[in-house]
Structure 1
Amino acid sequence: MKAGAGKAGGDQAAAAPRSATIAIYSVKGGVGKTTFAANLAWCSAQLGQRTLLWDLDAAGGSGFLYGLEPRGTRLAEEVFTKDRPATKLIQPTGNPLVDVLPADESIRALDAQLMRIGKRRRLAKLAEELSADYPRIVLDCPPVLNELSAQVARAADLVIVPLPPSPLSARALDLVVREIADTTKRHPPILPVLSMLDMRRTLHRQVREAQPDWPAVPYASVVEQCAVRHQPVGEIAPASPAAKAFAMLWRAIEAKLAERRA
């Protein structure tokens, strides 16, 4: 899908499902996954959709990018055991349409916890319950291949895979495709996205030429400022190429969701 495929974004958003869970997932760390999740949640809100950014990575980056910290150190896993309602941990952000369910250190043990629970669709069920209040749920997923990643595949309506332009990108994408195929019969669509694209670099240009239809987010210092200023790039520099790229990517996401409904 071309990054510009969502130019009729309003119509496509209206045709998209009433609720959807979008996973930002990669088997590699350091690909811009958390930055994508935080900025895409903001883009969703710009379309008037109440959006939950759910951090499943123990690093807790999504909450940090909105200036939030978890309220406890062992609470996040209790959402999955149902010892604590997710609504008790959700925090508001400066954007009235974006809330965050932060991660904490207990997420490190979540894979083992899910295995003990034995509920293969626990994440999907929790997301379904939360969708009553949040038409869009964005999952910031850890770079793992385990029970948690399997649950992500079962819960997601769409999987976004950030891929920095490198020879390892194709391998990383193949691993994601195989993981999803092996863990769910439903096969949610997968949308690869070039991240940190720098057209001044020969390798990056070559990868872009090889994948001209993939959405792309450019390398930009303003994106790095998200972590410094605890704001999405659309707030910091709304006219920047990076802000426009995230907005175009979200329109492509809404178009992809609308295709599933058609």
Structure 2
Amino acid sequence: MPSIAVYSVKGGVGKTTFAVNLAWCAANISRRETLLWDLDASNGSGFLLGIAPKKKRAAESVFDRHNDPARLIQKTAFDHLHLLPADESIRTLDRQFDRIGKKKRLAKLTEQLGKEYDRIIFDCPPVLNEISGQVMRAADLVIVPLPPSPLSSRALDQVVEEVRGAGTGHPPILPVMSMVDMRRNLHREAREANPKWPVVPLASAIEQCAVERQPVGAFAPRSPAARAFAQLWTAIERKLAKSK
């Protein structure tokens, strides 16, 4: 049961949009039983899927050793895709991890949930703390969305440092260029500098995800954006296969 983290230390890079669309691809293209686990207090994944958390402070309680995380999982409108939503209690999760003193608590819960799911995808908050450390110890692959800018290069360096800090056996990283507009010189130069990185274009269909509250593949399956996410998912599955 591979687990995939969509992570960046920089906000506004399309992280949640990536997580939702990749989870949809896992469920609808690969037909994998997929769990999208939202670890960001904004509950962006739940919003994009039209799902609200059941009650406040539920998301934090998942990590209590006496609770069963499966009871908070919600079905989505799409076959094979379930959501473990976030709420504002996630804001205190870093302190909770410090309190319980379990460095691999998230990894153990992921392993437990992996008995029911073929793929688990984490929508991670843009933080550098114990939450990100827990994610790195749980993930088999880290996807890093990077808009073409100098700040994105710095963000990638920080992610690499965070992943390596997880210790031996740390997960591989797959950088993905996001919001790419090849009409812009900076974007073309960034693409030429990193020709092997997957690309997701700047597209109105992706922006419409927040309006439709659906993954782009569900409402615009023939769009370039939908094809880009499908190709990215294929690249992810190949990378996971190679890492076995």
**Map 1:145-224 → 2, pairs under 5 A:** 145-224=128-207
Corresponding position of 1:3: none
Corresponding position of 1:16: none
TM-score norm. by structure 1 comes to 0.91
Q: Which amino acid aligns with 1:183?
A: A
CA drift of 1:82 comes to 2.8
Query: Secondary structure of 2:42's match?
Result: coil
| Structure 2: segments with no counterpart, 5+ residues | none
Corresponding position of 1:12: none
Contact 1:110–1:148, Cα closer than 8 Å, also in 2: yes
Q: 2:11 aligns with which of 14, 29, 32?
A: 29
Per-residue displacement from partner, 1:169-215 (whole Å, max 9, x unpaired)? Answer: 11111100101111221111000000111111111111011111100
TM-score norm. by structure 2 comes to 0.98
Corresponding position of 1:40: 22
Structure 2 Cα separation of the partners of residues 236 and 166 of structure 1: 30
| More relative contact order, 1 or 2 (CA 8 Å, 6+ apart) | 1
Structure 1 Cα separation of the partners of residues 14 and 54 of structure 2: 25
Q: 2:98 aligns with which of 99, 115, 128?
A: 115
Q: Which amino acid aligns with 2:13?
A: V
| Structure 1: segments with no counterpart, 5+ residues | 1-18
Per-residue displacement from partner, 1:10-64 (whole Å, max 9, x unpaired)? Answer: xxxxxxxxx1000000000000000000000000012110100000000100011
Q: Would you identify which runs of 4 or more consecutive aligned residues in structure 1 move more than 3 Å?
A: none
CA drift of 1:83 comes to 3.9
Structure 1 Cα separation of the partners of residues 152 and 89 of structure 2: 30
Q: Which amino acid aligns with 2:177?
A: L
The percentage of aligned residue pairs carrying the same residue is: 64
Which deviates the most, 30-39 or 221-230? 221-230
CA RMSD in angstroms, aligned pairs only: 0.7
What is the aligned length? 243
